Amino acid sequence: MRRLAVVVLFLSVFAVAQKNPLFDLDYARFAGDDTSGIVEIYYSFYQNAFNPVEKEGTKLIIGAIGIYIENLKDGTIQFKREYNFNAPLVDSVKNNLTGVLRFRLKFGDYKFAFSVKDMVSDDRNDTAKFSIQLKEPVKDKFQISDIEVATKIEKSDNDSSTFYKNTYEVVPNVATVFGENLPVVFYYVELYNLNKEDDPELLILERILTNDKNEEVSRKRRYIPRKNASIVEANTINISKLPTGTYNITVALFDSLSNDIVMSTKKIFVFNSQVIDSVATKYSDNEFLSSEFATMSEEEIEEAFEQAKYIISKGEEKQWDQLKDIEGKRNFMFNFWRNRDADQNTAVNEFKREYYKRIEYANQAFSSFQRKGWKTDRGRCHIVYGRPSEIDRYPSQLDSKPYEIWRFDDIEGGVEFVFGDISGFGDYKLLHSTKRGELRDDAWKNRVQTL
């Protein structure tokens, strides 16, 4: 095990929505050395989303992966490369082309862009953009890495394997979805800087599993000797009897005498269609039948889901894709909003009410003959972030198309969104934003110029 500095946790991920996504993406950060950390990017391709070609009797998918890393402090490009790949199409496996890319980066803030394209079909491409912070650790303190969840972890001496590290082969579960086909969660985490001579002999390591209501589902504790500088914690959680839903795995390391503590948390999604959630059943009989979702038509429930997609989790979207009948979809939407009700003892779901008020405003303010307001870029921005602090409007001029600049003073210390009517039909597209995770194009003015 390396004696390494630690990466302090920070997460901000944004995937650009596609009708037919080509991949899942996840990452974790680990220690590097006294000046840097290691970022592992996990990816997994949806084979069925590619257009296969046949060569010598074998169906192949042919694509390319693009990686771009930029230092946000000075704008320097740390990495920019494209990799081509081809692989046999396996009809029985939707998501089996899994890989990992590792980068050693100096402590700082970075913007990542990860893209995948089908080399056979120009219109099939997918992109994810996200920010990562690698922060210099506090010296003389024990530390913890991010949690990597996996479909398999086993002891191995095959150091040539893509997934080998620290005597283990760790095959990542990039989608972070477990359940009927994966009843056991494997997880991997690294602990650093343990053996300070003046500290107690043992540290306490706890693994806590909580549901989306922050209720504890299970907890395990063990004591860690401080004889080694760094160790690996590779373990499992059986989730076969848990009801469908979102869960958080927290690994915490603490000193009972000094009360020093570090922790890392990973969100996963569990899909167990045969397991009944007894808590949900108590209110579904009474409240569901009186809710608006109980009588929605197929068209209405589909629209309700589309409207909720701006805030839906990856796991919830996968659960929706498994639903085949309208009753299941009605129950899904009821529980979706029920789980976001901060105070379920009141008659009003304040979160849902505010969300639909924003949709109503978006329809009134941003609709065009092409689409409803909530489906537009300005509508999405208003629904997700609320009303801007200030709007500067620039109508059509001789040298530019119409555009607007929205400012939000209370987000990340102040951010901007720029929307432009590029087509000339009143449907303003997002051209640029300084909000982390949103589309950024500092040369956006070129797109609105007409001369």
Query: Residue 397 carries which DSSP code?
Result: B
Cβ-count burial of 449 within 10 angstroms (0-12 exposed, 13-18 middle, 19+ buried)? exposed
Quickly state the pLDDT bin for 195 (edges 50, 70, 90).
confident
Does residue 349 belong to any structural domain of this protein?
no
Look up the pTM and report it: 0.65
Confidence of residue 93 (pLDDT cuts 50, 70, 90): very low
What is the span of the domain harbouring residue 270?
147-275
pLDDT at res. 30: 96
Q: In the chain, how many domains are there?
A: 4
Distance, CA of 70 to CA of 92 (rounded, Å): 38
Contact 195, 227 (CB under 8 A): yes
In a domain, 329, yes or no: yes
Last residue of a domain, one of 137, 164, 183: 137
pLDDT tier for residue 1 given thresholds of 50, 70 and 90:
very low
Same domain, 115 and 232: no
Shared domain check, 369 and 286: no
Q: Do 257 and 158 have their domain in common? A: yes
Q: Is the same domain home to 47 and 27? A: yes
User: pLDDT category, 95, cuts 50, 70, 90?
Assistant: very low
pLDDT, greater one: 203 or 249: 249
Chain mean pLDDT for the chain: 86
What is the number of other CB atoms lying within 10 angstroms of the CB of residue 285? 9
pLDDT at 16 over 80: no
Q: Classify residue 142: in a domain, yes or no.
A: no
State which of 275, 304, 321 marks the end of a domain.
Answer: 275
Residue % of the chain over a pLDDT of 70: 90
Contacts of 402 (CB under 8 A, 6+ apart): 393, 394, 395, 396, 420, 421, 428, 448
Span 374-386, average pLDDT: 94
DSSP 192-240: E----TTS-SEEEEEEEEEETT--EEEEEEEEEESSSS-EEEEEEEE-T
- Would the pLDDT of 206 be above 60? yes
Reply yes or no on whether the pLDDT at 10 is more than 60. Answer: no
Domain co-membership, 38 together with 129:
yes
64 and 131 together in one domain = yes
CA 319 – CA 246 distance, rounded (Å): 11
SS3 151: strand
Residues 262 and 323 in one domain: no
Position 5 confidence tier, pLDDT thresholds 50, 70, 90: very low
Both tokens assigned to 72 = 């946000």
Nearest 10 degrees: Cα torsion 375, 378, 384, 388: -160
Q: What is the pLDDT of residue 155?
A: 95
Average pLDDT estimate for 393-411? 90
Does the pLDDT of residue 123 top 90, yes or no? Answer: no
Q: Which of 340, 363, 382 is the last residue of a domain?
A: 340
Claim to verify: residue 270 and residue 284 sit in the same structural domain: no
If pLDDT is split at 50, 70 and 90, which confidence band does 197 have? low
Residues 370 and 318 grouped into a single domain: no
Given this model, what pLDDT does residue 76 score?
95
- Interior CA angle at 14 toward 441 and 207, to 5°? 150
How far is 8 from 23, CA to CA, in rounded Å?
Answer: 27
Average pLDDT over residues 17-40: 84
State the Cα–Cα distance between residues 192 and 6, nearest whole angstrom.
7
| Of 86-95, 245-254, 303-312, the least confident | 86-95
Region 238-258 average pLDDT = 89
| Predicted pLDDT of residue 6 | 31
What CATH number corresponds to the domain at position 73? 2.60.40.10
Query: Is residue 123 located within the same domain as residue 19?
Result: yes
Confidence of residue 282 (pLDDT cuts 50, 70, 90): low
Distance, in Å, from the CA atom of 222 to the CA atom of 209, rounded to the nearest integer, reads: 15
Do residues 262 and 183 both lie within one domain?
yes
345 is a domain residue: no
Which residues lie across from 132 on neighbouring strands? 110
Q: What is the mean pLDDT of residues 68-92?
A: 88
CATH number reported for the structural domain that contains residue 163 in this entry: 2.60.40.2550
In a domain, 348, yes or no: no
Position 283 confidence tier, pLDDT thresholds 50, 70, 90: low
**Count H helices, E strands: the chain?**
7, 24
Same domain, yes or no: 199 and 173: yes
The DSSP bridge pattern shows strands 177-179 and 261-271 to be parallel
Number of neighbouring beta carbons within 10 Å of residue 434: 17
